[in-house]
Amino acid sequence: MKGRGMDEGWRIRVRGQVQGVGFRPYIWQLARSMGLRGRVFNDPEGVLIEAAGDGLAAFVAAIPARAPVLARVDAVTHEGAVFDLPEGFEIAESRGVGAETRVTPDAASCPDCVAEVFAPGRRQGYAFTNCTHCGPRFTILQGLPYDRARTTMAAFPMCAACRAEYENPGDRRFHAQPVACPDCGPRLWLEPGAGDAIVGAVAVLRSGGIVAVKGLGGFHLACDAGNARAVALLRARKRRPAKPFAMMGTLAMIGATCAVSEAEAALLRDPAAPIVLLQKVAEVLPEEVAPGQAVLGWMLPYTPLHHLLIAEFGGPLVMTSGNLSGEPQVIGNAEARDKLRAFADAFLMHDREIARRLDDSVERAAPPMVLRRARGRVPGTLPLPEGFETAPQVLAYGGQMKAAICLLKNGQALLGHHLGELDEALTWEAFLAADADYAALFDHAPEVVACDPHLGYRATQAAHGRGLPVIEVQHHHAHMAACMVENGWPLDSGPVAGIVLDGVGLGPDGTIWGGELLLGDYLGFERRGWLSPVAMPGGDMASREPWRNALAQLDAARLGPLADEMFGAQPLALLRQAVRAGVNAPLTSSAGRLFDAFAAVLGFEGAQTYEGEAAMALEARARPDGVAYPLGGVEGVIETAPLWQAWAQDRAVGVAPEVMAARFHAGLAQGFARRARALVERGEARAVALSGGCFQNALLLEMTVVALGDLPVLIHRRTPANDGGLALGQAVVAAARAVSG
């Protein structure tokens, strides 16, 4: 197949997520359809095409326009070249060291594969059907380069029929590493049970039982979402009284309970198939699914197994993470039998091993945000903005809650998957495993490690044990930097006003911060505004029991008698004494604790059963009326006493709690926006960045964006505003300091 000598043509470079997504066969088909000669191959920078013939410009223009669904084309460039081309167009061997070092995230079943599973043919009813456009990727990966031998599919030698598809460039399974069929691939079964596994599992679900379902990145516990007793049983067994359950169903099932806009439907259908938070519009499902919530978390079936299960069951299922309380999700069959025994009446099992634990991602479409970044999103990368070209390899360890690590290399940031709370021993093991795993997979050799300054964080202790130079990045500065880098803010674009509304993070003055207006860039910051510091009576207890914060806030606002009236059953005298003596009552400017306090005065009782419960309840009940409670102060302290006094007046005249909840949100939004606007108008800041865990609150985010009006505003869309994005911010701050010497 050698050519006739030297040919003149174009050398075309394609950069982006273009390996392992069917890109070469796509180019092969496109080039042949346009009558071009040449070749396409992978190399360390992506995909390279050498082509000759008429219509090269049209060919280049068509490349991004018709790219495969899982591809992300960042750039297509070309130059004239002279080379020796074959007669036709061919897919050539990869070239260069480390030519195929990329792997894409796991992707939901494509429409072609779903159709195949439900139509007569050799894959009818087959739960592991996949192709180049869909299927498992990162969750089956054991090493790079990505090919079947280095995945958990290595245990399943391809049959002749699958191999023929795999080797045919015209087939949508060309080089699809996990290709499989009932003759050669993984198999499904029910424990206990005989006969059809799906039919058996559905019988358990119909009888109100709970089924442990082995999925892509771990086990789920499934039950009938429409059966209040089944859901209550699951809550009782999991000892999870109130935290909302995620659900799985078809778009029609989802539409029966929630409003689904076009953007939300698109996000549900995204190959990442995240859990999408949607506004509830009809009380079709039992309240037990998500007690007190105005939003429900839904995902579409994303594997053939899920499609078969939902189709056979004919209704929505609760699909919650299969784990012991606080522990990571279970991934192994033996581990599932052992740990989920007390929860599940049956196990829907298969024999394809899960190489890597990945939770479902949790996202919102309006406004767009990522609350938990995991399956379907990792190991996706984020390009670093201008100015970071010479940045060294950096490793960042993140925080203690919602832990995730971040790797910088070659101008890209790889924010790893959600790990969980590092207090838990098994999550800590998972953190260490992820650290080693990412380093090996991406051949990462960091020159510096970044972390939070809080020495109580396990990740911080581990960073100091690495034997590398350590850069500590203040918690809220890291949040702000993460928001800046996600928005492509160049290194030398000047300072930004950062409104960082968060739970708690250590400030350089030794107090606990969390309701901050920062002015700064990647390199550093000044603290320009902060919520009135108030005690957290009982320390960590105050993070669990909202009324403690209400007591401290009301006392600080000279409204102590109201605290006596509302929380008289609590040991107030003792706590007040502790606050006065400064015993176990650290001061904080945390916005998260302010939210908790306000939720408590509006009636949230007792302890939170999960993080953010009180604040979510406050958001859920808010009914805006255009009024905002005032915050005081001009420089420095952002005084909260005026807010509390305005609330006390409302309460005295019987204003509805829903209205007071909204006025509280509006007060915070407008108070911080006013301060940030002043920084921009004085020319000190060029834009406003919104970050911190409180900006998971869609109402607060919208009200703040509205209050900022025509100012340039940076918000999180693809990375979490919560501590899940911390490592990204730490990494870029460390990189900025390295680049700037």
Contact 20, 146 (CB under 8 A): yes
In the complex, minimum distance from the CB of residue 267 to Zn ion, in angstroms, rounded to a whole number: 20
113 vs 414 by CB, closer to Zn ion:
113
Q: Are 397 and 450 spatial neighbours (Cβ–Cβ below 8 Å)?
A: yes
Interface ranges with Zn ion (CB under 5 A): 110, 113, 131, 133-134, 159, 162, 181, 183-184
Any idea of the CA torsion for 661, 663, 664, 670, to the nearest 10 degrees? 150
Minimum distance from residue 530 beta carbon to Zn ion (Å): 51
Nearest approach, Cβ of 31 to Zn ion (angstroms)? 23
24, 37, 137, 737: the active-site residue: 24
Based on CB atoms, which residue is closest to Zn ion, 123 or 675? 123
CB 716 within 8 A of CB 370: yes
Contact 247, 295 (CB under 8 A): no
Nearer to Zn ion (CB atom), residue 138 or residue 428: 138
Distance CA 377, CA 10 (A): 34
Q: Is 198 helix (H, G, I), strand (E, B) or coil?
A: helix
Peptide bond into 192 cis (omega under 30): yes
Q: How far apart are CA 692 and CA 725, in angstroms?
A: 9
Angle at 446 (CA atoms; ends 440, 448), nearest 5 degrees: 150
Establish whether 373 is a catalytic residue: no
Q: How far is the CB of 373 from Zn ion (least distance, A)?
A: 24
Residue 2 token pair: 């050698």
Residue 613, sorted as left (phi over 0), alpha (psi -120 to 50) or beta, turns out to be alpha
* End-to-end Cα spacing for the chain: 54
For residue 230, give Cα distances in angstroms to 227, 237, 447, 507, 640.
Answer: 5, 11, 52, 46, 45
What's the token pair of residue 113?
A: 């594969």
* Both structure tokens of 69: 């669904």
C-alpha 295/C-alpha 286 separation (Å) is: 13
Q: CB nearer to Zn ion: give 134 or 594.
A: 134
* Cβ-based nearer residue to Zn ion, 375 or 402: 375
* Closest CB to Zn ion among residues 184, 228: 184
Q: State the minimum distance, in angstroms, from the CB of residue 147 to Zn ion.
A: 17
Choice between 9 and 178, CB closer to Zn ion: 178
Distance of CA 291 to the CA centre of its chain: 23
Catalytic hit among 37, 42, 576, 675: 42
Name the DSSP class of 244.
P
Selection from 271, 204, 203, 215 nearest residue 246 by Cα = 215
- If the CB atoms of residues 153 and 666 are measured against Zn ion, the closer one turns out to be 153
303 half-sphere exposure, CB direction, 13 A CA radius: 23
Least distance from C-beta 157 to Zn ion, angstroms? Answer: 9
CB of 271 to Zn ion, least distance (A): 10
> In the complex, what is the shortest distance from the CB of residue 114 to Zn ion, in angstroms, rounded to a whole number?
8
**Listed residue (579, 394, 370) closest to 468, CA to CA:** 394
Q: In terms of CB distance, is 6 or 160 closer to Zn ion?
A: 160
Of 443, 473, 543, 470, which Cα lies nearest the Cα of 503?
543
Active site residue 487: no
Cβ(538)–Cβ(551) under 8 Å? no
Calculate the CA 448 to chain-centre distance: 25
The residue among 131 and 727 lying less far from Zn ion, judged by its C-beta, is 131
Q: Return the amino acid letter for 71.
A: A
**Least distance in Å: CB of 276 to Zn ion?**
21
CA distance 224 to 201: 11
Token reading at 563: 């605290």
Residue 594 half-sphere exposure, CB side, CA atoms within 13 Å?
31
DSSP letter string, 105-162? PPBPPPHHHHHHHTSSSTTTT-TT--BTTBB-SGGGB-SSS-SGGGBTTTTSPPPHHH
Tokens matching residue 359? 């939770």
129 versus 590: smaller Cβ distance to Zn ion: 129
Instruction: For strands 713-714 and 688-691, give the pairing.
Output: parallel
Q: What is the 3-state secondary structure (H, E, C) of 562-578?
A: HHHHHHCCCCHHHHHHH
Smallest distance from the beta carbon of 179 to Zn ion, in angstroms? 7
Element (H, E) at 596: helix 591-601
Catalytic sites, residue numbers: 24, 42
